[in-house]
Amino acid sequence: MLYETVIRNGMIVDGSGNDPYIADIAISAGKIVAIGTFAGQGAEEFDAAGKLVTPGFVDIHTHYDGQITWEQRMRPSSDHGVTTVVMGNCGVGFAPCRPHQRDMLVEVMEGVEDIPEVVMTEGLPWNWESFPEYLDVLAGREADVDFAAQVPHSPVRVFVMGERGAARVAATSDELQQMREIVREGVAAGALGVTTSRNHGHRTVAGELAPSVDADRAELLALAGGLADAGTGVFQMIPNSHYGDDPQSDMALFRDIVATSGRPLSFSLLQKKYQRDLPETMLAMLKDYNADNATPIRAQVFPRPIGMLFGLELSFHPFRFHPSFQAIADLPLAEKVSALREPDLRARLLAETPVTDNPLYMTLASDVADLYPMGNPPNYEPAAASRLGARAQEEGRNAAELALDALLEQDGRGLLMMPSSNYVDGNLDMARRMISDPNTIIALGDGGAHYSLICDSSFPTFVLTHWVRDRTEGRLPLAWAVRQLSHEPARAVGLDDRGLLRPGYKADINVIDPERLELPAPTIVYDLPAGGRRLIQQAKGYELTMVSGMVTYRNGEASGALPGRFVRGAQSAPLAA
């Protein structure tokens, strides 16, 4: 028999969590058709001896809602073995939207997800109004990964209520019914679910809260009712317990949403220094709930610090809001660096404090002592001694002075990392605790957002290097890690046709050299619409990535093939499986 493609002699890590084994894989018509020892050959064959063969990874927490409309490579995610992305998270996005409401959604996305206004203005085609029309636009797009969408709450609120929605006024009963119907219609048209945010860190650049943040219980249950009416879909949200809301009240709300919708719910869970016990509290409640209930509630968690990156070319650094820096902020980098090295300006800058009305920005700009230098390769579990506050104390200097020196390295391209979450104790023990819990899903990479602040969609490579191979103690099993990156997230959102290497499943596949697998430091490129900048983090060691049986990447280089398509709604497991 002649197959389209055969991968020979690889160590199969099939996504089930079972022990790896050596076998061949045959692929035809975009599906896996045989695994093991079989007669026949491939029109194209790859020798994977000594390599890992895994399912393509599934990233269920991204924000490619805009990027998918203006480009075809969903980087950085697709550089890290990801073959399916789910967007529309955190209640933000670009549909539904009436023409006169576009500026309101752009303001929200600029603040909440750090996507520059000029990038959205230049890049978005806006050839939709309703959410089903947006999905039809997506259905006409081709990419290097498959992509699925969710209905975001903030655009729905603005679509129904206009400026009152943006101002977070309480919705009327008629408006709640309209929101419910939009969710039902969107899910019926192919959205995987609905999403919202109650997070007080989600603000516009001007400091205004995102439209969904103050929505009351009745409004959230209206969204849940839309899922119930559709009879399918998932509910995703980011609560405000990270900023002080009562976790027991949050859990009660989660239970009410699931009871109303009859559908699974997931929420973001992080450890913050002012909410250090929150993960243990939430994980204990999840354990109790899921032991007694068939419809799951699970936490989306992240395997390393949420790494905010500060640099002179990026959105933030400790001096961004200092008056003396504002005077040189728009200079080209070389001129900016030259100015910052002048003793007089340096002295003024170090004597000033930030000036901004946005409380989140003020926090980011003020917390200099908790910054760490970003090396190459980057260390996402840095020693306490490398923290700027510790170094300043050791050297008898000011932490701000050390930060400025670090930013001026590499001709002004030096980077600093602020571990804003999951690094309260100066290690990743709590991150390990969270990702190891059976009631969590590894997610929160945020690809397609935070272009000049965060580059966390490289997390699959981090899991396979740090947690499986490199950490001194507390390493995790390879088969477990691959399952958490593929089958588990796919199953969590109803994409049951992928995430496993078995006959009948989609031929989304990675061939990985485990010894060469490496995660270099992020770099800055200027390739967004209007010349906008973004952080890109590539990887070494991915010898082959396939989507629907077509090679998309060879040794980290794009093949030019674009087999990725819009995934319209939940997908059933193949009958052959």
10-residue averages of pLDDT along the chain (577 residues): 94 98 97 93 95 98 96 96 97 95 88 84 95 98 98 96 92 97 98 94 81 94 98 96 87 97 97 91 97 95 93 90 89 92 91 79 79 92 93 92 93 91 94 97 94 93 98 96 98 97 97 96 93 94 98 96 98 82
**Strands 297-301 and 234-238, sheet pairing:** unpaired
Sign of the dihedral through C-alpha 552, 558, 560, 562: positive
Query: Using one digit for the tens of pLDDT, what is the confidence trace for 433-446?
Result: 999 999 999 999 99
- CA angle, corner 143, sides to 138 and 146, nearest 5? 75
- Is the N-terminal amide bond of 503 cis, ω within 30° of 0? no
**Strands 372-373 and 416-419, sheet pairing:** antiparallel
- Three-class SS string for 290-329? HHHCCCCEEEEECCCCCEEEECCCCCCCCCCCCHHHHCCC
* CA dist list (Å): 368 to 166, 350, 390: 33, 12, 11
pLDDT of residue 204: 78
560 C-beta neighbours (distance < 10 Å), count? 9
- CA angle, corner 464, sides to 571 and 38, nearest 5? 60
pLDDT of residue 174: 97
Token couple for 454: 């965060």
Query: What is the model's pTM?
Result: 0.94
pLDDT of residue 150: 98
Q: How many CA atoms, within 13 angstroms, populate the side-chain half-sphere of residue 548? A: 15
What whole-number distance in Å separates Cα of residue 154 and Cα of residue 112?
A: 11
Token couple for 576: 């052959």
Sign of the dihedral through C-alpha 111, 314, 416, 393: negative
Closest CA to 514 of 30, 43, 54, 1: 54
Q: Coil, helix or strand for 445?
A: coil
* Residues facing 373 on adjacent strands: 416
**Which amino acid appears at position 181 of this protein?**
E
What whole-number distance in Å separates Cα of residue 388 and Cα of residue 405?
A: 11
Token couple for 73: 């490579």
What whole-number distance in Å separates Cα of residue 109 and Cα of residue 127?
A: 18
Domains of the chain (ranges; CATH) run 2-55+505-558 (2.30.40.10), 58-307+423-492 (3.20.20.140), 315-416 (no CATH)
Closest CA to 420 of 535, 298, 268, 281: 268
The residues, any chain, with a CB within 8 Å of residue 519's CB and separated by 6 or more, are: 377, 378, 458, 461, 462, 465, 537, 539
Q: Coil, helix or strand for 26?
A: strand
Closest CA to 446 of 254, 265, 197, 250: 197
What whole-number distance in Å separates Cα of residue 284 and Cα of residue 317?
A: 37
pLDDT of residue 577: 53
DSSP codes, 547-562:
ETTEEEEETTEE-S--
Q: How many CA atoms, within 13 angstroms, populate the side-chain half-sphere of residue 241? A: 25
Q: Identify the helix (H) or strand (E) that includes residue 523.
A: strand 523-525
Query: Using one digit for the tens of pLDDT, what is the confidence trace for 300-354?
Result: 999 999 988 999 999 888 998 889 998 898 999 999 999 999 999 999 988 888 8
Q: What burial class does residue 472 get, using C-beta atoms within 10 Å of its C-beta: 0-12 exposed, 13-18 middle, 19+ buried? A: exposed
| Phi, psi (deg, nearest 5) at residue 489 | -65, -35
pLDDT of residue 245: 83
* Residue whose entry in the numeric block shows the structure tokens 């309260």: 424
pLDDT of residue 203: 81
